[in-house]
Amino acid sequence: MRRVFTAMFLGSALALGASGAAGQNGSATSQSAKPVLSRDILHVQVILDHLGFGPGVLDGREGQSLTAALRGFQISRQLPVTGKIDQRTLVELHKHREIRPTRIIRLTPDMLSGDFVRPFPTDPAAQAKLKTMGYRSALEKLAEMFHTTPEVLIELNSPDTRLAPGVPVQFPNAVPASRDYPADWKPEWRKTLADLNIDANQPKAGRIVVDKSDKVLRVFDRAGKLAALFSVTTGSTHDPLPIGSWKVTGIAQNPEFHYNPKLFWDVSDKKPEALLPPGPNNPVGVVWIDLSKEHYGIHGTPEPQTIGRTESHGCVRLTNWDAARVAMMVEPGTQVIFQP
């Protein structure tokens, strides 16, 4: 199903189920229920995203992920911790004003191509037969590439903007400073990082701390300083976060997913096991960071808009772009602390 959507438009692509909300849950989020996109808030989000304090989806709106990112940024800069876009925080963010809120980029064939899967099967047995658990459309791919949603791309552009090579499109400015990834990394992983606009320069983690109450993952560098922070989804009543100290045992890039119904409380044990192929819409996204606690890991998700707002089956889930960044920061042996 490798093709370029030369006859598609932003609006019609969304209607066909390009977003995670429309494609998997049956209906897109109502835009009328949302506050209007603020370019000032989007600018703050974009700067924080570049600095490693992930505000979640870049959508120009306030929310718990932005509040968490602001708190992390304020702690790292020794500012009063308010979680708000206050004057002292704006002064500090203004030092990075060269990072503009949006970029107008002409679409390329590579940006529009992919092994798109539509309709996307919901049954694991059917998913196991796929070549890849790829994006449902070029629009979904473009949204994740720029750390946002299809709905936001439509807000930033005209719904009748054509998805075709050469067409200028306005995106949240998630463009990294560098894509100079190590040459010895697998080409497939390098492409994944490039497609997700992940900067090649990431801090090295001394330890990771996942806080259940705050729903955040904090990265402390080897000097003990808070270097990055990302919103996460952590466990549920049925599968609580395993409080304690663990270690990273390995990192699986673009992993397959072994679907075992016995490990899911909400799935019948009579369902067959299945090996699901890699892809950004794989249940664990583009990366699995394995931990010394059996069956637990830190990983991505096919639905970035749900991070911090839904439950997981016990693991720590991030957006694909944030999970990829964390994977670049850790190595086998890195300490991972889960705390209440």
**DSSP sequence for 172-199:** ES---S-----TTS-HHHHHHHHHTT--
DSSP three-state, residue 112: helix
Q: Residue 210 has what pLDDT?
A: 97
Q: Residue 105 has what pLDDT?
A: 98
Q: Look at residue 104 and tell me whether its pLDDT is greater than 70.
A: yes
Alpha-carbon gap, residue 22 to 12, rounded angstroms = 12
Q: Residue 265 has what pLDDT?
A: 47
**For residues 215 and 72, is the Cβ–Cβ distance under 8 A?**
no
Q: Nearest-CA neighbor of 107 among 153, 142, 147?
A: 142
259, HSE (Cβ side, Cα atoms, 13 Å)? 22
Q: Look at residue 21 and tell me whether its pLDDT is greater than 60.
A: no
Q: Look at residue 16 and tell me whether its pLDDT is greater than 60.
A: no
Q: Look at residue 121 and tell me whether its pLDDT is greater than 50.
A: yes
Alpha-carbon gap, residue 128 to 228, rounded angstroms = 35
Q: Residue 30 has what pLDDT?
A: 45
Measured distance between the N- and C-terminal CA atoms of the chain, rounded to whole angstroms: 45
pTM: 0.89
**For residues 326 and 208, is the Cβ–Cβ distance under 8 A?**
yes
Chain segment 217-267, per-residue pLDDT in tens? 999 999 999 999 999 998 656 678 999 999 999 999 999 999 877 665 455
Pair type for strands 335-339 and 205-211? parallel
